[in-house]
Every structure is written in C-alpha cells, then in structure tokens.
Amino acid sequence: DGGITQSPKYLFRKEGQNVTLSCEQNLNHDAMYWYRQDPGQGLRLIYYSQIVNDFQKGDIAEGYSVSREKKESFPLTVTSAQKNPTAFYLCASTSGQGDLPDTQYFGPGTRLTVL
C-alpha cells in the first residue's frame, strides 16, 4: 500500500471554499476510490473510477466532485455545497482486473477540518 500517496496530510478550509485533495498511485491500478470516515461510521464511498475518464457516484457523492484524467491520479474536490466536510478522507485503489477478488490498498489519508 506504499504505492498510494495522498496530500496534504492535514487541510483546513474556511466555510464557502472549495478544496481539492490529491491521490496518486504508482501501482498501475485501474480502479480508484474515495471514502469518507467519520467516528463510528466506518468507511463510506464517495466516488469511484474503474477506468480513466470514467467515474461513478458512491453512496454520499453530494457536495463532492472528482476527475480521472490520468490512470495514476484521482483528485477529490470538496465543494462549498458539502455542509459537513470535516472528516478523514481515504483514497484507495485495486487492480480491477482478472477473475479473482483483489486487495484494495489505501492511502495514508487526509484530515480535513472546516474552520
């Protein structure tokens, strides 16, 4: 899982601002995911992308946007429409190929705090 990086580690946002969280992987994985983690809530899927130039909404996509212009990169933008964005954000990736289930590897996370 060392092949996935996220930046920044900590991010502070003022109300009304859009912020972008970076996720990069050098594992040559096709599929990438964004999760939000709140205390006691587990991991909830925001967006996912199975292939370059394609992405799908997860369970809690409102107030977020993504792009997948390159295989290695899947940035997440937290928009001002997200009313409660303070959380720990995790990016993950999987190979997405073959017939057997493959491991989902996580990045180190970004902790976003709204001031």
Partner 1 sequence: GENVEQHPSTLSVQEGDSAVIKCTYSDSASNYFPWYKQELGKRPQLIIDIRSNVGEKKDQRIAVTLNKTAKHFSLHITETQPEDSAVYFCAASIRNYGGSQGNLIFGKGTKLSVKP
Gap between the Cα atoms of 40 and 19, Å rounded: 25
Residue 112 to residue 38: CA distance in whole angstroms: 11
Residue of 5, 111, 6, 20 lying closest to 65 (CA atoms): 20
**Strand pairing class (10-13; 110-114):** parallel
Q: Does 112 bind partner 1 (CB under 8 A)?
A: no
Smallest gap, in angstroms, from Cβ of residue 4 to partner 1?
Answer: 8
Q: Which of 31, 65 has the CB closer to partner 1?
A: 31
Choose between 6 and 82: whose C-beta lies nearer to partner 1: 6
Burial of residue 62 (number of CB atoms within 10 Å: 0-12, 13-18, 19+) = exposed
Residue 60 binds to partner 1 (criterion: CB under 8 A): no
* Binders in 75-104 for partner 1, by CB under 8 A: 90, 94, 96, 99-104
> Does residue number 3 form part of the binding site for partner 1 (CB under 8 A)?
no
Token pair listed for 49 = 């992308």
Instruction: Select the residue interacting with partner 1 from 22, 50, 73, 77 (CB under 8 A).
Output: 50
Q: How many residues bind partner 1 (CB under 8 A)?
A: 26
